[in-house]
Amino acid sequence: MKPLNNICIRWLQGCLIFFVAGCSSQVKQKIVSPVDIEKSAFVHRAFNQIGEAKNLIKNGDIITRLGNDFTSQSLKKLNRRDETWSHCGIASFENDTLFVYHSLGGEWNPDEKIKRDLFEAFSEPFSNNGIGIYRFDISESVVKKIPLTASTFKNAGVSFDMDFNLQSDDKMYCAEFVCKVIEKASGKSLEFNHSFINKFEFIGVDDIFLHPQCRHVKTYLYK
């Protein structure tokens, strides 16, 4: 029969080898490359910018963004005067939570209904290059109606307009949605420029933020 002390020593040695091997494996898994560090720093900086932007936004503001995907880069070229932004929505504070109403289609929104996203989700830096804040110089009574009208359109089941047809009110693309919400909320006292490509008539994102009564508050480009 083997001495008990030898058995204990061998058992402890085996445990130690297993422990060292396990720790070594965990250390290897936690090695972070300079690229990973930079990506993490980029995301941290971007969400700090998003937090700063949130403190500037007021009810009824227009929030623009530029996606980093091919579709967004193509859509911004529809703008006839300023290609800075590819998408826009309407800011709405509800029970101290900031949402953005916007019309979106494609793989990001399979049911194609008007979206009501948390501001952080609308602005996230993983698929966007940055955001802009714009504000209309209008009466407070109209400002209050803008998010309420956006909510009404959403509750009515308005969906994304793949045909980009300005004549249909049951389907709207992003700039058309913002335009029609503001026109309705203002009783048509605010009207927007229409852009053209040959005979194709549409409302570009720049037709919203370049409106004479719309002023730029701040731009955040994620870096």
Helix, strand or coil, per DSSP, at residue 199: coil
Contact 65, 130 (CB under 8 A): yes
* Count of residues in the chain: 223
In percent, how much of the chain has pLDDT > 90? 78
pLDDT band at 29 (very low <50, low <70, confident <90, very high): low
Nearest to 101 by CA among 164, 130, 46, 59: 59
CB burial readout 163-198, b (16+ within 10 A) else e:
ebebeeeebbbbbbbbbbbbebbbeeebebeebeee
Nearest Cα residue to 89 out of 70, 104, 74, 78: 104
User: Cα-flanking dihedrals φ and ψ of residue 196, to 5°?
Assistant: -140, 140
Token duo for residue 208 = 């919203």
Per residue in 149-169, pLDDT tens? 999 999 999 999 999 999 999
Of the chain, the percentage scoring pLDDT greater than 70 comes to 85
* Contact by Cβ (8 Å): 108, 128: no
Of residues 23 and 148, the one with the higher pLDDT is: 148
Which stretch of DSSP H or E encloses residue 122? helix 119-123
